Structure 1
Amino acid sequence: MAALRYTRQVRLADVGPSGQARLGGLRAHVAGNDLAARVEALYLVGAGASVEVEDEGIAAAARGLNPETNVSLSPIPIPLPKTREPREGERDREREELAEGPAEVAAGARRALLKMRAAVEGT
């Protein structure tokens, strides 16, 4: 199955078999528990890299996407937010943060692609 999973990447001139082997050997730490971190982790495991994440939800999503890769939880503790009623103005800020979603996706994808490029190029 693994050989078929990465066929498209192996056929790319910029990756090839040796680049895919380096991606498979890549072990990356993904910091955070936001949307950008989730996208970064999913891009990396989709490419065959192993990741260490700080959030169980991100770990579960990554394992679900590619069970053949190693996904582990970082020993760094993450404080959980306290649950309370939103204060005045917080709902507007939440809406603004949701509007920033595409920027977070782009940021996570960029971080993942930079790590993958470094692995493929051997730097």
Structure 2
Amino acid sequence: MLQNSVNKKEARTRLRYERPFKRKDRVANEIQHILGKIQTQYIDLSDLGLITFSRVTISPDLKHAKVFFSVLNKKIPIDKIQIEMDNRAKSFRKYLGQELRIKFTPELKFFYDETVAYTQKIDTIFQKLKRDD
């Protein structure tokens, strides 16, 4: 009997460590997926440009999330897009709360992700070098 309970405990411990991601990483991935869905179904961001959510990080207590976004074909300057995204954070949180199944819906803070712009700049440089050869 004692051996059986020890084996169950070991199995649970092993299962916990075999998971591919920590809980906060799984929740962050789910938030990113849901935000993309919200953008296509409920909140129109086309007046800002083509917005994509590139990454989400979440605090260990799951109450605060940083949402990183990138913009293609921007229609207004990035600083104004940042302000607009922050203004729409409450709406995003409302719809997120309806979809996300955790105790608290995290506060959302949006940050511009410069990775796409940087990649495009590097790509332009490589194209220019290729043409010059």
TM range (shorter): under 0.3
Higher relative contact order (CA 8 A, sep 6+): 1
